Amino acid sequence: MRTEGFTKLHPSNSTNKPDSIRYYYGQALGIVSYKDPSFTYQTSPWPDYVVSSVTNEQFDPILQLYRADGDTSLLFFSAPGLSYINPTDDPWFSAHTTPNDSTKGHIGTQTVTLYNLDEPAGVMGCFSQFQFCNPSLPEPSRCETLNGTNADYFEPLDRL
């Protein structure tokens, strides 16, 4: 998913803590928003391997990601301490960046070039829809329209 234009550097308020990156794909909701609801996700400043998800119950998606007939979820992959010995073209966690020519690692006695992630976090967007059907009903009225989990679950029970 495109991150350009949806990220901002978040400076650390401590000299012992590195800066992080915030992702702006919609305002955080509920407990996620207790400090600052303006962003959707923030990378860990520490060299951790993190996979996180944000569902439509946890954020209000921006217009480009919103659809009324389903649920939007975002998956974030962040691994600031992770390096590869080969470039990778994986769309979720591509790695082609060498901070400088001296970025080397060792495998046994062999010296290798290390490649870092191209982005602080990879973002994958998912859209889910659900449908209730009753196979005993005639074809035109057999199924409800596709919808998200926020739709009224009990409404189909009255009609199906």
> pLDDT digit string (tens) for 100-133?
655 677 777 888 888 888 888 999 999 999 888 8
What pLDDT, on a 0 to 100 scale, did the predictor assign at position 15? 79
Q: How many domains does the chain have?
A: 2
Separation between Cα atoms, residue 82 and residue 95, nearest integer Å: 10
Separation between Cα atoms, residue 146 and residue 26, nearest integer Å: 23
Answer yes or no: do 109 and 38 share one domain: yes
pLDDT at 33 over 60: no
What pLDDT, on a 0 to 100 scale, did the predictor assign at position 14? 79
Mean pLDDT for the chain overall: 83
Answer yes or no: do 139 and 117 share one domain: no
Sorted by sequence, the CB contacts under 8 Å of residue 88 that are 6+ apart come out as: 94, 95, 96, 115
What pLDDT, on a 0 to 100 scale, did the predictor assign at position 157? 58
Query: What's the pLDDT tens digit per position in 9-26?
Result: 988 887 777 888 999 999
Nearest 5°: the CA angle 107, 113, 116 is 110
Give the residue numbers spanning the domain of 151: 129-160
Give this prediction's pTM.
0.79
* Nearest CA among 43, 23, 5 for reference residue 125: 23
Answer yes or no: do 100 and 137 share one domain: no
3-state helix, strand, coil in the chain (%, to 5): 10, 35, 55
